Amino acid sequence: MEYEAVIGLEVHAEMATNSKMFCACLVVDSTQAAPNSAVCPVCCGLPGVLPVVNRQAVAYGMRVALALGCTVAERSIFDRKNYFYPDLPKGYQISQFEFPLAEKGTLTIHTSQGEKVVRVTRTHLEEDAGKLTHVEKNGETYSLVDLNRAGVPLLEIVSEPDMRSAEEACAYGEAIRAIVRYLGVNSGDMQKGVIRFEANISIRPLGSTKLGTRTEVKNLNSFRAMERAINYEIKRQAVLLDAGQPVLQETLGWDETNEVTFSQRSKEEAHDYRYFPDPDLPPLVISPEWIAEEAAKLPELPRQKYQRLLEQYQLSEDDAYFMVSTQEMADYFEATVKAAGKIPAKITANWMTGEMAAWLNQDGKSLSELKVTPAILAELMQQVESSVINLPTAKKLYSEMAESGKSAKDLIAAQGLQQISDEGAILAMINEVLEANPTELQSFLDGKETLSNWFFGQVMRLAKGKANPGTIRSLLETRLNERKTE
Ligand code: ADP
Ligand code: ZN
Ligand code: MG
């Protein structure tokens, strides 16, 4: 049986406000601050306290909602979602249920299959829970509770089940992450858990329009984990259905080491959250003026930037998509193109998607660590453009420049890398190569035309990689043609 996968995503993004969602405690980096150093009676859930809504969190949440094309509700309600867990001191989480902050948006994603519009069901505000650390020491097991994160504003973004593959789900996740980073409301740092993904996965016979039973994989902390977990679930569910067994609706975890999902909770054990409006919080009323004010603050978003770059610089779709991955990347691109003057934007794009991306990917470095500034890259490109060095030499220089921040001009002078463009010198080298390799020359003359590439390589080697490749090619072609008719 052939199946189709159906995937819906829930994204939890912390809002990078100064203080927590309902109290004045500072939002601190949980990997840096001492445990329980940013807590107060409100976020510790002590009796008799009253929560107060953080206006900045509402503004940030609204910006994300508007960037996703959602309609912001002029009246939404905070509810209590009741369940007990040691990292949730109140015994309930303040969330929004029936009347969320915003609803009905869309997000265009970019995959190898082209573009696709995914519908966003809703976005709502809630508070994060604390953090548990499970310890096993001297035969004892216990858990430590850190409430620094308890009460940090969270925006939950729920999609419709519109994705059909792990690739689409990851593209959606990446697009959401890009948007919150563009808006400056979340650092996008998945390792720190400030943005977290849950994938709901079901399969159905290809052609069917009925939804199958879904499983929900929690706590995916990288796109790699998300991709693998989804593909694992699709296969696991297909094996079950093929064997005539049902898929059970359950909550799963992802075992990173063994690359398998495991059951955390079945439908029978699912919480009954007994949602009800939080009596401590009045309805959240947002005026149309405030909505308009936040809408006016939206920067050029990834999608708009993508379309502008396509048009303005005639980039390929893949190049444009690469450039808009972050605002810094797009700014770097535009600054380099500007500094490079008449050099086509495509050449800047090639450097960025080639050498730069390779350098960044090497050890997961960030753009801010790269010492090749737009001005330095533009100068390197100009050295190639004006034939001072050839492209292979320039590429070799790049990684050295990335670490040292030295300019191409300085390195060329210091290392004597100037390209040999002198025709006489290059011709002499061609003749030397042809003479030194009579067998290959004969094979070439007998019809093995591909050997011209080999000769090219030999000449370049003789020139220690410094000869102008275009000049070698044209002189070599002439010379080989002469030999044919000699
Ligand atoms: P819950 O809190 O029960 O997880 P939500 O409404 O927050 O419910 O999220 C449900 C998510 O699951 C949504 O992203 C939705 O698109 C997705 N979903 C619902 N039904 C299916 C299904 N049959 N297959 C895949 N995804 C589904
Ligand atoms: Zn507090
Ligand atoms: Mg869910």
**Residue 235: what pLDDT?**
97
Q: Which atom number of ligand 1 is nearest to the Cα of residue 213? A: 23
How far is CA 282 from each of CA 61, 278, 303, 461, rounded to the nearest angstrom? 18, 8, 36, 77
Alpha helices in 45-165 (DSSP H): 55-67
User: Do residues 280 and 394 both lie within one domain?
Assistant: no
359/361 Cα distance (integer angstroms): 6
397 assigned to some structural domain: yes
Of the pLDDT bands very low, low, confident and very high (cuts 50, 70, 90), residue 270 is: confident
Domain boundary at 359, 378, 406, which?
Answer: 406
CATH number where 439 lies: 1.10.10.410
63 assigned to some structural domain: yes
User: Do residues 152 and 207 both lie within one domain?
Assistant: yes
Domain total in the chain = 3
Residue in 456, 422, 432, 5 with CA at minimum distance from that of residue 203: 5
User: Do residues 38 and 97 both lie within one domain?
Assistant: yes
User: Do residues 37 and 120 both lie within one domain?
Assistant: yes
Alpha helices in 287-356 (DSSP H): 288-296, 302-313, 317-323, 327-339, 345-351
CB count within 10 Å of CB 404 equals: 12
411 assigned to some structural domain: no
Separation of CA 149 and ligand 3 centre (Å): 20
**Residue 389: what pLDDT?**
85
Task: Give the structural domain span for 337.
Answer: 300-406
Of the pLDDT bands very low, low, confident and very high (cuts 50, 70, 90), residue 237 is: very high
The ligand placed nearest to the CA atom of residue 271 is 1
User: Do residues 384 and 430 both lie within one domain?
Assistant: no
The ligand placed nearest to the CA atom of residue 162 is 1
User: Do residues 150 and 198 both lie within one domain?
Assistant: yes
CB count within 10 Å of CB 145 equals: 15
For residue 348, report the phi and psi dihedrals to the nearest 5 degrees: -60, -45
User: Average pLDDT for residues 14-30, to the nearest whole number?
Assistant: 95
User: Do residues 280 and 307 both lie within one domain?
Assistant: no
- Could you read off the pLDDT of 168-201 as tens digits, one per residue? 999 999 999 999 999 999 999 998 999 999 999 9
Find out whether 322 and 329 touch, Cβ atoms under 8 Å. yes
Separation of CA 95 and ligand 3 centre (Å): 14
User: Do residues 78 and 158 both lie within one domain?
Assistant: yes
394 assigned to some structural domain: yes
Q: Considering Cα of 138, then 143, then 149, then 153, what sign does the dihedral take? A: positive
211 assigned to some structural domain: yes
User: Do residues 129 and 217 both lie within one domain?
Assistant: yes
Of the pLDDT bands very low, low, confident and very high (cuts 50, 70, 90), residue 414 is: confident
**Residue 464: what pLDDT?**
83
Separation of CA 52 and ligand 2 centre (Å): 11
Query: What residues are neighbours of ligand 2 (ion), with CB under 5 Å?
Result: 23, 25, 40, 42-43
417 assigned to some structural domain: no
User: Do residues 109 and 186 both lie within one domain?
Assistant: yes
412 assigned to some structural domain: no
Domain boundary at 406, 437, 456, which?
Answer: 406
Q: What residues are in contact with ligand 1 under a 6 Å CB criterion? A: 6-10, 158-161, 200-202, 211-212, 214, 216
The single-letter DSSP state of residue 356 is I
User: Do residues 37 and 185 both lie within one domain?
Assistant: yes
- Could you read off the pLDDT of 344-353 as tens digits, one per residue? 999 999 999 9
**Residue 341: what pLDDT?**
93
413 assigned to some structural domain: no
- Could you read off the pLDDT of 357-366 as tens digits, one per residue? 999 988 788 8
Domain boundary at 294, 319, 343, which?
Answer: 294
Q: Which residues pair with 190 in a beta bridge?
A: none
Separation of CA 477 and ligand 3 centre (Å): 66
Q: Which residue carries 């035969």 as its tokens?
A: 139
Nearby residues of 231 by Cβ (< 8 Å), 6 or more positions away: 166
Separation of CA 160 and ligand 3 centre (Å): 12
User: Do residues 50 and 166 both lie within one domain?
Assistant: yes
